[in-house]
């Protein structure tokens, strides 16, 4: 069953001679329980693509559906869909500076109306699984880049979304910590029947994906079941 489906996604910025095509004609689908790795160099359009997949950026052309609901950017309830069905791991973390690590992770649950104590318990369990139990009260300003990335991952998973979109999730992590974080993500995806798109240039993640597609200059240049480099 496809949980996320994109057809002919294109994003252009500017117009006329100054027009730049960041993404051109990308189509893809991700099934429940599957991790799709979108591998490409910096500037290949990965972040623009994942922003469109999550309804954060409207395409110039094309459509996105989440569990058959969409086109996503034309749906009046897009904010509700993002909150309930999509977990984001941002390259720039996007943690709220005035909230502790625990409060940042618990925030999606609180927005969904989950009681504070229950939200804190679930957030604490995720932080512990990522080796951050002792940093739960720390504000983002005193966390390292790797710690912020792990908090961002915990926040993406805490509300048990149907789709996880991860933009360079290991960019701030060393090899060992990055591997642990991605193993947690893979377990959550496979056991929870989630659909997951990871965009990265990190070839160390190839063996953690169920499928790999490569993106260059805003276009998919190959795709399929093979994970060979």
Checking if the pLDDT of 144 tops 50, the result is yes
Instruction: Give exposure, 197-208, as e/b (b: 16+ Cβ within 10 Å).
Output: bbbbebeebeeb
Checking if the pLDDT of 70 tops 80, the result is no
Closest to 196 (Cα-Cα) out of 32, 17, 5, 14: 32
3 pLDDT tier (thresholds 50, 70, 90): very high
pTM for the whole structure = 0.88
92 pLDDT tier (thresholds 50, 70, 90): confident
pLDDT value at residue 229: 38
Residue 66 CA to residue 82 CA, distance in Å, equals: 10
pLDDT value at residue 225: 44
Walk me through the domains of the chain, giving residue ranges and CATH numbers: 2-224 (3.40.50.300)
Q: Residue 210: is it exposed, middle or buried by C-beta count within 10 angstroms (0-12/13-18/19+)? A: middle
């Amino acid at each position: 069953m496809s949980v996320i489906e994109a057809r002919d996604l294109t994003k252009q910025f500017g117009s006329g001679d100054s027009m730049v095509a960041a993404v051109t004609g990308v189509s893809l689908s991700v099934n429940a329980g599957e991790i799709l790795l979108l591998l490409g160099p910096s500037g290949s359009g990965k972040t623009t693509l994942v922003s469109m997949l999550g309804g954060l950026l409207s395409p110039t052309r094309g459509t996105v559906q989440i569990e058959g609901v969409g086109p996503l950017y034309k749906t009046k309830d897009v904010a509700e869909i993002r909150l309930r069905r999509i977990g984001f791991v941002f390259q720039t973390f996007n943690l709220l500076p005035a909230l502790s690590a625990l409060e940042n992770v618990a925030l999606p649950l609180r927005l969904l109306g989950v009681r504070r104590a229950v939200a804190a318990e679930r957030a604490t369990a995720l932080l512990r699984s990522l080796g951050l139990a002792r940093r739960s009260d720390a504000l983002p300003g005193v966390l390292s880049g790797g710690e912020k990335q792990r908090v961002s991952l915990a926040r993406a998973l805490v509300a048990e979304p149907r789709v996880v979109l991860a933009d360079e999730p290991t960019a701030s992590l060393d090899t060992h910590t990055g591997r642990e974080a991605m193993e947690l993500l893979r377990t959550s995806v496979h056991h929870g029947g989630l659909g997951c798109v990871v965009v990265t240039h990190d070839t160390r993640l190839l063996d953690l994906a169920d499928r790999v597609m490569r993106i260059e200059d805003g276009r998919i240049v190959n795709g399929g079941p093979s994970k060979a480099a």
